[in-house]
Every structure is written in C-alpha cells, then in structure tokens.
C-alpha cells in the first residue's frame, strides 16, 4: 500500500497525463511529456507507470473517478437538465479531460485490453445516471443510460471539434428524455 505522499505524487502524475493526452493527443503521451507537464524529475512517471499501457490505465482510472464525482453534482437537477449541465461541463470547464477521454476511446479501437477497461469504468461512471433513470420511471435503465450517454458524447464531440457560439444541449436532451417516455424534472419546459 503506497503512503499518502506516494498517492499524492501518483495523482499528480495522472492529472499531468490527462492534461498531456487532452492537449497533445495520444501521440504526445509519453512518460517524459508527463514528467515535464507535472514539473517532476525525469523518470517519475515511469516509476509509477512502467509501460504506456499502464499509464493509459492510470489515466482511465483518473477520468472515471472524475466523471463519477462530476455526474453526482448534477444529479439533483432532473434528468434532462442534469444531463445538459453535464454536457456543458464536459465541453467547457472539463474540455481537456474530455478530449483525453476521447483520445482513450480512439486508442481502445486498437487495444482490446483498454476497451475492456473502458467498459468497466463506463459502467461505474454511469451508475448515477442509471439510478436517476430508475427514479424517473425507466423500465429499461441500461438501454436508456446507453442512449443518453451516446447522445451526450456525440453532442460534446461535435461541440469540441466544431464549436458553436452557444452550446445548448437542453432541447435535444429534453426531446430524447421525452421520447423514452420519462419525466425530466419540474422545470423541463424552462429555456
């Protein structure tokens, strides 16, 4: 079990790796680049993550933890409104982490181990949404969660790659929630 100081250093490495991946893409993610981003001595990243695969796993774990925490912040907003706030957060304040997540998605296309890890991490990150769907009356929470998450991920991807003047995901999310036969929140008609 690592000491609290070691966990802190490991967390620094993971945060720096997320930044490198989200700003430089998968090709830029090297142990040396992470050390430089974190302002740590050369070799620090390698001490915590011996291989590139281990580093990608660390990034994935860090992103999943972040998603789980952030999703919980929007849980009380109602289904459509909470999903819209989450989408705006991903495309705005959490842009770099979101770009890192998408880079991981692309890496997983060629890496079956990373693909499996993404599935496990995604299930945990989707747990708050699944609970909201059940509370909203979903009789197919897994399907509805997948539909909502796929929609959010697609909207955010488009916003990141082709930014609009004003990103407004609320209307399409309200329509999707309505099409699934679910209630959003008391304020679903607000604009």
Domain ranges across the chain = 4-179
- CATH, domain range 4-179: 1.10.357.10
Please determine, for residue 121, whether its predicted confidence score (pLDDT) is greater than 90: no
Distance CA 77, CA 185 (A): 7
Band the pLDDT of 187: cuts 50, 70, 90. Answer: very low
126-150 mean pLDDT: 89
Q: What is the pLDDT of residues 76-101, one digit of tens each?
A: 778 899 899 999 999 999 999 999 99
C-beta of residue 81 within 8 angstroms of C-beta of residue 185: yes
Q: What is the pLDDT of residues 139-155, one digit of tens each?
A: 999 999 999 999 999 99
Distance CA 44, CA 34 (A): 9
Q: What is the pLDDT of residue 186?
A: 37
10 three-state secondary structure:
helix
Lowest mean pLDDT, pick from 56-70, 85-99, 142-156, 158-172: 56-70
Q: What is the pLDDT of residue 71?
A: 76
């Amino acid at each position: 079990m690592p000491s609290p100081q070691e966990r802190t250093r490991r967390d620094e490495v993971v945060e720096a790796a997320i930044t490198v991946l989200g700003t430089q893409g998968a090709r830029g993610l090297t142990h040396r680049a992470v050390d430089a981003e974190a302002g740590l001595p050369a070799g620090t990243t390698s001490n915590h993550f011996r291989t590139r695969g281990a580093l990608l796993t660390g990034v994935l774990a860090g992103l999943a933890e972040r998603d789980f925490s952030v999703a919980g912040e929007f849980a009380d907003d109602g289904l459509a409104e909470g999903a819209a706030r989450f989408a705006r957060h991903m495309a705005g304040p959490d842009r770099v982490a979101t770009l890192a997540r998408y880079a991981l998605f692309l890496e997983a296309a060629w890496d079956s181990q990373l693909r499996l890890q993404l599935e496990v991490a995604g299930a945990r990150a989707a747990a708050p949404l699944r609970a909201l769907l059940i509370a909203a009356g979903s009789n197919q929470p897994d399907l509805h969660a997948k539909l909502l998450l796929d929609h959010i991920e697609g909207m955010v991807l488009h916003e990141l790659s082709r930014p609009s003047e004003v990103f407004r995901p609320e209307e399409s999310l309200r329509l999707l929630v309505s099409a699934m036969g679910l209630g959003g929140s008391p304020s679903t008609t607000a604009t």
